[in-house]
Chains A and B, each alone.
Chain A
Amino acid sequence: MKIEMTVNGELRKLDVNPLSRLLDILRNDLSLTGTKEGCGEGECGACSALMNGLLVNTCLIPIAQCDGSEILTIEGLASSKRGEVLTEAFAEAHSVQCGFCTPGMVLAAESLLRKTPKPDEQQIREGLAGNICRCTGYDMIIDGIQLAAEKGDGLW
């Protein structure tokens, strides 16, 4: 079927199997490989993106449901001012080790900061509840998000 969606600000017209996963369309058809597949079952958050402003797991979304929607992936976020602040803060706080979870963590952070620009630790932990990291032990990711909230004061 034919669908149209805006990905990182650009209108994309695609002819797709309606039940293909958004994750596969992003990675394979649009070459946006920043979105990762971890579990493929909604449990790890590596495949996170924002859909119409809401944090979602792209491994669980049939592409037909994306018709008419706006998708923001890590590539789109990274090139924005807020994305830059998050990137710097994550680097400075050593929030990244292997990096596999990082795109999802950054998108979960973006989603959280949009609602709660000055989150406390508990709010950050709740915001990241669906994102698994096998390396950092989370504390450094929480530091990174707190640092981003400070550095990016007024951006969210």
Chain B
Amino acid sequence: MVETLRPRKLDEALTWLSERKALPLAGGTDLMVHFRNYTGTDSLIVRPVLFTDAIDELHSVEDLGDSLKIGAACLLSELENNELVPSLLRQAISQIAAPALRNRATLAGNVCNASPAGDSLPPLYLYDSHVVLASSSGTRTIPLVDFITGPGKTIRTDDELLTHILVSKSQNEKIYYRKVGTRAANALSKLTVAAFAELENNIIMDLRMAFGAVAPVVVRERAVEIIFIGKSIDQVDLDEFRQAYAPHIRPIDDQRSTALYRKEVALNLAGDFIRKIQENL
């Protein structure tokens, strides 16, 4: 039987983590499927397990003024209903799996799982989110773009726990989120597009767009965004906008979809976002 610990205190968790190099388990909705066992058989997890769900310090959403500090034990269902959380992120969260899943799954788990199809990631990339990693020897705060390095890969070391996610509090007026999957609930994404824009007298003051599941990591290109910032929204040519993103969308074929379909739909949705603002939809 593997060793497990379910501490209430963060420092206890960090000490044990560094001693045992344990596997952190939050909601278990990725891990219990990955290590699925059948009735009458033992769990397939062979490493020590650190349960993070009972750590008091990781349950709060703290308002820091411009940003929010979201504890690693916060459930997706809590964040979905928290009005401080940017509505774009809430929208993405509300389309993850189904209610019972969101009652166990955490945002931290979605981030650490680092799946190209992790639906919280595109909105988190738009808001330049950061993660806080803690170990018994200190903490470091890292931009999310640097934290995730590939499918399932992060720069977290074995003795570190992700304790918080820092997200901007911006509430944008023109937001756009599309998840393309085989059915409404419990389907992993074929691809996702998240975007927002800020306009003043029709001039684009800010524009951000991120794509999920079309490359090994989330695609967000500030260089492309900048081309269009400062222009009048009516002057943005839809084809030019699509073409600007085309070289960055590099999807693969897998069991959920094909590269061709993903690329075509991603670019169509990119254009759809601009068209919707132009037509004031």
Contacts and interface: CB of A to CB of B under 8 A. Distances in A.
Contacts, number: 97
A28 B38 CA distance: 12
Given A19-B4, A42-B97, A65-B53, A60 B104 contact: yes
B223 interface: no
B103 A55 contact: yes
A64 B1 CA distance: 13
Interface string B32-68: 1100111110110100010101100000000000000
A37 B37 CA distance: 12
By CB atoms of chain B within 10 A, which of A37, A57, A126 has the most? A57
Interface in A62-108: 62, 64-65, 67, 108
Contact of B32 (A27, A45, A62, A127): A62
Contacts of A43: 186
A14 interface: no
B51 to A, nearest CB: 6
B36 to A, nearest CB: 6
A106 B197 CA distance: 43
Contacts of B104: 56-57, 60-61
Contacts of B54: 65
B185 interface: yes
B36 A129 contact: no
B98 interface: yes
13 contacts: A18-B4, A19-B2, A19-B42, A24-B40, A56-B104, A60-B28, A60-B32, A62-B4, A62-B28, A65-B54, A67-B6, A129-B186, A130-B99
Interface of B: 1-2, 4, 6, 25, 27-29, 32-33, 36-40, 42-43, 45, 49, 51, 53-54, 77, 97-101, 103-104, 184-186
A17 B100 contact: no
A78 B8 CA distance: 34
Interface string A27-56: 110000000010011110100100100111
Contact of A130 (B2, B36, B39, B101): B101
A146 interface: no
B33 to A, nearest CB: 5
A57 B6 contact: no
Contacts of A20: 43
B43 A130 contact: no
Given A23-B39, A129-B186, 11 more contacts: A18-B1, A18-B4, A19-B42, A37-B39, A42-B97, A55-B103, A62-B4, A62-B32, A64-B6, A65-B54, A108-B100
B56 to A, nearest CB: 13
